[in-house]
Each structure stands twice: as structure tokens, then as C-alpha cells.
């Protein structure tokens, strides 16, 4: 084997830097995904009990309607309401743990990738979290 065909092995320092980069990327990515999934929805919050009452009413309409169009619309509304009820009952993700990871690695990730304060704000990261992470305007 010649010198050019030998495989280079990364040094311990390079391996450690790659590991830090992977942890930073994973922490920032997990926080951004959680923010996106738990973005507040517009309008009045509806409790699970209210959704259940609406589901019962809609089931009654779907079962007793003489109009095919009313049954179709009631069936679609029932599907939508059941999906909303499932989302309302889903366990909530603890954003505080993910936020800690973002605060720890956010500035490192931003500087290595050239990501600005404005870009983080545009995807929904609160200003207080950016400040805690050391990401400046």
C-alpha cells in the first residue's frame, strides 16, 4: 500500500469534536421538533370533555340523519373530533429538558452552521431561550 491509499484514522481530538457536533445537532434538532409539534393553535381551547360531548352529538346526527350529505359531513366531523380528542389526551413532551439541551449546545451549533438569531426566531425559538443559549441579535 502506498502512502496515498492508506486510510487516515481521525485523531482522538477529531473524534471528540465530531461527537460534540453530533450532540449539538441532536439537541438543537430535538428542541426544534418539539417546538413545532407543540405550537399553540389559534382559537379557543376545547377540553376533552367538550370534545366527547360533541362526538356523542355528532354520532347521533350521523346515525339518525335521513340525508346522505348530512351523514357524510357528520362522519367527517366525527373523524376530525376523534383526532382532536386523541391529540388532547396525548402525553405532553417536557420541553424544559429539551430546552436545557438547546441552551447548552445552541450557540455552538449556530456558530458552526452560520445560523442567525433571526432564523431561530423565525422557526419559533423564544427570545429568552436564545438569550440563555448566548445567541445574540
For residue 119 the three cell numbers come to 432564523
Q: Which residues of 31-45 are buried (b: 16+ CB within 10 A; e: fewer)?
A: bbebbeeeeeeeeee
| Residue 44 DSSP label | -
Q: What is the pLDDT of residue 4?
A: 63
> Domains of the chain: which residue ranges?
12-38+93-137, 42-91
Mean pLDDT of 92-99: 84
pTM for the whole structure: 0.62
The yes-or-no verdict on residue 100 having pLDDT over 60 is: yes
Q: pLDDT tens digit string along 2-57?
A: 566 778 898 889 988 888 889 999 999 999 999 888 776 777 888 889 999 999 99
Q: What is the pLDDT of residue 2?
A: 57
Q: Which residues of 81-116 are buried (b: 16+ CB within 10 A; e: fewer)?
A: beebbeeeeeeeeeeeebbebbbebbbbbbeeeeee
Q: pLDDT tens digit string along 114-133?
A: 999 999 999 999 999 999 99
Query: How many CA atoms, within 13 angstroms, populate the side-chain half-sphere of residue 100?
Result: 3
Amino acid at each position: 500500500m502506498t502512502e496515498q491509499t492508506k486510510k487516515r484514522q481521525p485523531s482522538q481530538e477529531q473524534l471528540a469534536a465530531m461527537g460534540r457536533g453530533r450532540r449539538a445537532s441532536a439537541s438543537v434538532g430535538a428542541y426544534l421538533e418539539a417546538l413545532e409539534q407543540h405550537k399553540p393553535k389559534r382559537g379557543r381551547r376545547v377540553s376533552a370533555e367538550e370534545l366527547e360531548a360533541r362526538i356523542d352529538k355528532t354520532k347521533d346526527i350521523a346515525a339518525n340523519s335521513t340525508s346522505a350529505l348530512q351523514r357524510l359531513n357528520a362522519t367527517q366531523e366525527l373523524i376530525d373530533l376523534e383526532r382532536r380528542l386523541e391529540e388532547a389526551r396525548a402525553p405532553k413532551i417536557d420541553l424544559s429538558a429539551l430546552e436545557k439541551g438547546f441552551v447548552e449546545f445552541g450557540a455552538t451549533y449556530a456558530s458552526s452552521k452560520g445560523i442567525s438569531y433571526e432564523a431561530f426566531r423565525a422557526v419559533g425559538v423564544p427570545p429568552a431561550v436564545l438569550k440563555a443559549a448566548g445567541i445574540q441579535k
